[in-house]
Amino acid sequence: MKELKIFYQERCPFCKKAFRYIEELKEENPAYRNITPVCIEETVEEEYANSYDYYYVPTFYINETKVHEGGIIKDEVKEILNRILE
């Protein structure tokens, strides 16, 4: 399975929504339940986060390819999860 990385900040309201959408989608579709994202809190893992090219959180990477950056809606999260399953 492809790796999903999510760069986030604990205090970010968009990040909280993104994680809530992931949980909702896992409840709606059992196929998503096997997806376990690698979550990087950028203020804690600052050096590692700085090695990636992004400016806004949440930022999603599939393997090493950035697929989304910044505010996100549920349908966009669903699209990302579907790409993981391809």
- How many domains are there within the chain? 1
Question: Which residue range forms the structural domain that includes residue 35?
Answer: 4-85
- Say what the pTM is: 0.95
Rounded percentage of the chain residues whose pLDDT exceeds 70: 100
Mean pLDDT of 24-31: 97
Q: Indicate if the pLDDT at residue 1 is higher than 90.
A: no
Please say whether the beta carbons of 67 and 79 come within 8 A.
no
CATH code of the domain covering residue 65: 3.40.30.10
Gap between the Cα atoms of 3 and 36, Å rounded: 8
The whole-number average pLDDT for the span 2-22 is: 98
